């Protein structure tokens, strides 16, 4: 059975973006190209008119928001390397048609749209200003949170989710506006026109709509099949064997995780994570029929998932060009048809986008209805004639596209009523859908009101959760290393002799993080970020770099794999491998370390050891030495014996310190001055021993204990040696300050200096991360 970091099942944009995101992070993914529901398709329709055939290639959901420079969608697509592959044109104005056929132009940019509303609804100026002030605040916060996600910075719930996440669109707009006509202005758009706004999620809608108002609405010219092909090709560049065509028939699970999946030919595939783009209720019913409780919960979150409301396109060929009939613009949205059975969504002027225009007029009319009742063509045509009267007298031919789901997905009221922050986080991060720890289910059903933008955003959120799961492994798994630790392990291995005296810059792209080395002679500095013109760029995952550092796999095998790429001269790459000891010249020490009896054994052991010495040194100021030295000796002896029993080893330093305390205890019986006058030796002697053995001859005392808290691989690195050297020196300094401090402050303040022990215990816990993070500069 082959094993992967993540197995993605589906062939829609959602699934492909998840696969591309992870593949670009150098993850070992398998994409099973199995049909997904709700997949965007370009409709290919032929209309026969006057013995000629006229073709349409039309995508009903081709409007994408946020592609202006600095827009959130632009950032998403740039991260996926898709931005330059899209062919699109800006839509800076909306044209609205009301029930009487009257038309008006409406600018769809944030400030201009606000001015437009204030001009048409002067009695509601105060309400409009209040609403747009909140909308602006929510947009800025929402954008920042998702840019932080993309850039691997800290992020949290957006204010949009916290404040508006529980409202239907109808409820929210009526909180701000009394005028129902003003409310209608937010309905006339390509995303929710014709839907019942009592079923529309205000969060889902505005997450997309305010991005358009701020950073543009665009018509995407790429056909859906073309866009899918582009994404598939980019996935293939990461791994040649990443995509297979098969059908999954069985999913094997235990109580909390998916173990593996099986296809219709009996092949088995194992993954650390799984993503499925599917209708969730059908998916769980098909593969996990015993999850009735979870399916019932899903129906509360997605009550309209089986709704019978559909949208459809009427393809019309006319004997005259649209502009000759008053249809001058690309898009027209219908207004005031909320109570009609057949609701017009938009008119799309197809003739305006054809590269080789036909000698006839071609328009697409999108409309919605309840498929249980069907629709009446005459009612639709009456609406068209009302807006464009010249159509009534023309010869034309009509064909219809397929019925497509037209969903709004507002969770039931009991789930929206005063939700906790925890519930909102689960909803925002899709945890509410998941039954198994390593299985994610997604698709267009989640936030359909967000349209095409929603698919990109939701796929990136899902993929980011999987990436984080691969990076931050569970506690019961193999020890994982942060990107910063990996960078510092490399830095500590640096040998300057391979690069000479010229300045070298090496960029690293590890998952979502980026770093660079600045090297000159024997000096090396690690920076966060990227260098503009590097000598070498390395793109890989955290796992592959640690495999290189720990020499778990032959280095040639790693650097020639699909999951390690570099840009730069071959000679520079070879120098990098040797300069950071990543080749096979010096095998890593693999001495086995006994497993610790409990978590953070070494840290706790060291803190108890040091605390007992300091406590004894403090008490000896008040109690005769004889009654301190012997208990201290017995406590240290007990610690040594306990360690010997549990981890089966002793080391020279602890035996030497034990002898020191034994000698002090014995001397306290015979030499009275030791009991009454010479008190500082109880910390001074251990400090001097530690200074000599640990610092001067480079055998860190702390290393002998905290090594049980880390993996064997990490313990044998130069970085671990440096960290434990620093920790040992820290305790030496604390003991020396305890001894020397009273000479400057007087004996009455002697107890103050002993508080440094608590500082030492605190730093023992945090020092490794402080050392690593402060050694990497922010560029």
CA distance 520 to 533: 16
- Cα angle: 662, vertex 667, 668; to 5 degrees: 100
747: its two tokens: 């004996």
Among 181, 197, 220, where does a domain finish? Answer: 220
Q: Using CA atoms in the order 332, 336, 340, 342, what is the torsion angle rounded to 10 degrees? A: 10
Which residues lie across from 753 on neighbouring strands? none
| Nearest one of 449, 21, 42 to 222, comparing CA atoms | 42
Could you tell me if residue 235 is inside a domain? Answer: yes
Do 112 and 154 sit in the same domain of this protein? yes
Could you tell me if residue 57 is inside a domain? Answer: no
56: its two tokens: 């349409």
414 contact partners, CB below 8 Å, separation of at least 6: 300
Q: With the C-alpha atoms ordered 377, 382, 383, 387, is the resulting torsion angle positive or negative?
A: positive
Do 647 and 712 sit in the same domain of this protein? yes
Do 158 and 277 sit in the same domain of this protein? no
The pTM for the full model equals: 0.85
Domain, as residue range, for 99: 64-220
Do 178 and 193 sit in the same domain of this protein? yes
In 326-437, at which residue ranges do the beta strands (DSSP E only) sit?
331-334, 343-348, 361-370, 396-400, 404-405
Do 440 and 378 sit in the same domain of this protein? no
At 518, which CATH number? 3.30.1050.10
Among 150-154, 245-249, 301-305, which is the least confidently predicted range? Answer: 150-154
Do 462 and 442 sit in the same domain of this protein? yes
Which residues lie across from 218 on neighbouring strands? 64, 90
**Is residue 437 over pLDDT 80?**
yes
**Is residue 583 over pLDDT 80?**
yes
Distances (CA, A) of 558 to 165, 203, 577: 46, 45, 12
Tell me which DSSP letter residue 446 carries.
S
3-state secondary structure of 125: helix
User: Each residue of 713-771: pLDDT tens digit?
Assistant: 899 999 999 999 999 999 989 988 888 888 888 777 778 888 999 999 999 999 999 99
CA distance 484 to 161: 32
Number of domains the chain is built from? 5
Could you tell me if residue 590 is inside a domain? Answer: no
Render 219-244 in DSSP notation, one character per residue.
EE-S-HHHHHHHHHHHHHHH-TT-EE
In 381-455, at which residue ranges do the beta strands (DSSP E only) sit?
396-400, 404-405, 439-442
Tell me what pLDDT residue 476 has.
45
At 443, which CATH number? 3.50.50.60
Could you tell me if residue 68 is inside a domain? Answer: yes
Distances (CA, A) of 679 to 220, 682, 707: 81, 6, 32
Do 274 and 158 sit in the same domain of this protein? no
Could you tell me if residue 50 is inside a domain? Answer: no
Do 198 and 259 sit in the same domain of this protein? no
Do 317 and 393 sit in the same domain of this protein? yes
Average pLDDT of span 699-715: 89
CA distance 537 to 779: 17
CA 175 to chain centre: 33
Q: Using CA atoms in the order 219, 221, 223, 227, what is the torsion angle rounded to 10 degrees? A: -90
80 contact partners, CB below 8 Å, separation of at least 6: 17, 20, 21, 24, 234
Among 371, 405, 439, where does a domain finish? Answer: 405
294 contact partners, CB below 8 Å, separation of at least 6: 284, 435
Do 395 and 441 sit in the same domain of this protein? no
Which run of H or E residues covers position 63? Answer: strand 63-65
User: Each residue of 637-674: pLDDT tens digit?
Assistant: 999 999 999 998 888 888 888 998 899 889 888 888 77
User: Each residue of 594-609: pLDDT tens digit?
Assistant: 888 888 999 999 999 9
CA distance 182 to 192: 16
Comparing 161 with 36, the larger pLDDT belongs to: 161
Could you tell me if residue 750 is inside a domain? Answer: yes
Burial 355-372 (b: 16+ CB within 10 A, else e): eeeeebbbbbbbbbbeee
Among 471, 499, 515, where does a domain finish? Answer: 471
Do 732 and 609 sit in the same domain of this protein? yes
Could you tell me if residue 664 is inside a domain? Answer: yes
Do 135 and 176 sit in the same domain of this protein? yes
Could you tell me if residue 464 is inside a domain? Answer: yes
């Amino acid at each position: 059975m082959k094993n992967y970091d993540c197995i993605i099942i589906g062939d829609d944009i959602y699934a492909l973006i998840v696969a591309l995101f992870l593949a670009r992070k150098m993850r070992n993914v398998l994409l099973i190209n199995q049909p997904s529901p709700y997949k965007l398709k370009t409709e290919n329709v032929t209309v026969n008119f006057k013995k000629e055939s006229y073709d349409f290639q039309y995508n009903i959901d081709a409007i994408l928001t946020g592609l202006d420079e600095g827009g959130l969608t632009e950032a998403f697509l740039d991260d996926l390397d898709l931005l330059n592959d899209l062919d699109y044109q800006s839509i800076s104005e909306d044209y609205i048609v009301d029930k009487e056929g009257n038309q008006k132009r409406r600018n769809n940019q944030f400030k201009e749209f606000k001015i437009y509303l204030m001009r048409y609804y002067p009695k509601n100026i105060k309400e409009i200003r209040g609403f747009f002030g909140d909308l602006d605040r929510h947009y800025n916060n929402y954008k920042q949170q998702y840019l932080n996600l993309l850039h691997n910075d800290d992020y949290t719930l957006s204010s949009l989710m916290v404040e508006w996440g529980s409202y239907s669109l109808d409820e929210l707009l009526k909180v701000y506006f009394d005028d129902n006509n003003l409310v209608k202005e937010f309905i006339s758009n390509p995303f929710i026109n014709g839907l019942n706004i009592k079923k529309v999620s205000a969060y889902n809608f505005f997450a997309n709509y305010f991005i358009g108002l701020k950073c543009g609405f665009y018509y995407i010219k790429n056909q859906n099949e073309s866009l899918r092909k582009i994404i598939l090709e980019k996935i293939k560049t990461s791994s040649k064997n990443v995509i297979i065509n098969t059908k999954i028939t069985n999913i094997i699970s235990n109580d909390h995780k998916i173990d593996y999946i099986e296809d219709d030919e009996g092949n088995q595939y194992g993954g650390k994570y799984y993503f499925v783009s599917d209708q969730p209720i059908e998916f769980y019913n098909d593969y996990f029929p015993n999850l009735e409780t979870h399916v019932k919960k899903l129906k509360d979150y997605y009550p309209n998932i089986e709704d019978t409301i559909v949208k459809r396109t009427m393809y019309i060929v006319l004997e005259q060009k649209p502009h000759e009939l008053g249809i001058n613009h690309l898009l027209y949205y219908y207004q005031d048809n909320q109570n009609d059975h057949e609701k017009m969504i938009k008119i799309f002027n197809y003739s305006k986008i054809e590269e080789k225009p036909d000698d006839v007029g071609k328009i697409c009319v999108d409309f919605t209805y309840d498929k249980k009742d069907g629709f009446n063509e005459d009612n639709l045509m009456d609406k068209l004639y009302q807006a464009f009267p010249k159509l009534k007298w023309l010869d034309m031919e009509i064909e219809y596209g397929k019925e497509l789901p037209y969903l709004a997905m507002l969770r039931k009221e009991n789930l929206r009523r005063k939700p906790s922050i925890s519930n909102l986080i689960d909803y925002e991060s899709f945890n509410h859908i998941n039954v198994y720890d390593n299985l994610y289910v997604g698709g267009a059903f989640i936030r359909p009101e967000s349209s095409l933008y929603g698919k990109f955003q939701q796929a990136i959120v899902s993929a980011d959760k999987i990436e984080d799961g691969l990076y931050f492994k569970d506690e019961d798994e193999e020890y994982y290393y942060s990107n910063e630790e990996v960078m510092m392990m490399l830095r500590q291995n640096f040998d300057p002799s391979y690069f000479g005296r010229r300045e070298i810059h090496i960029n690293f792209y590890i998952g979502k993080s980026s770093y660079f080395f600045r090297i000159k002679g024997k000096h090396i500095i690690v920076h966060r970020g990227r260098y503009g013109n590097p000598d070498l760029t390395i793109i890989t995952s955290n796992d592959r770099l640690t495999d290189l550092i720990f020499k778990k796999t032959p280095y040639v095998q790693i650097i020639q794999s699909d999951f390690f790429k570099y840009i730069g001269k071959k000679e520079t790459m070879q120098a990098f491998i040797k300069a950071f000891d990543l080749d096979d010249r010096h095998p890593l020490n693999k001495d086995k370390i006994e497993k610790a009896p409990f978590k953070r054994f070494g840290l706790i052991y060291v803190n108890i050891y040091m605390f007992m010495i300091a406590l004894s040194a403090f008490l000896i100021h008040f109690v005769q030495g004889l009654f301190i030295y012997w208990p201290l000796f017995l406590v240290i002896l007990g610690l040594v014996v306990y360690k010997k029993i549990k981890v089966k080893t002793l080391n020279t330093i602890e035996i030497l310190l034990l002898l020191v305390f034994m000698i002090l205890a014995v001397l306290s019986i015979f030499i009275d001055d030791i009991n009454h006058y010479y008190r500082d030796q109880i910390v001074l002697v251990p400090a001097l021993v530690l200074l000599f053995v640990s610092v001067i001859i480079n055998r860190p005392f702390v290393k002998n204990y905290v090594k049980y808290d880390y993996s064997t691989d990490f313990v044998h690195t130069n970085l671990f040696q440096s960290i434990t050297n620093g920790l040992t020196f820290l305790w030496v300094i604390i003991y020396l300050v305890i001894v020397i401090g009273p000479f400057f402050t007087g004996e009455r303040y002697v107890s103050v200096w002993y508080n440094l022990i608590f500082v030492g215990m605190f730093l023992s816990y945090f020092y490794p991360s402080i050392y690593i993070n402060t050694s990497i500069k922010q560029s």
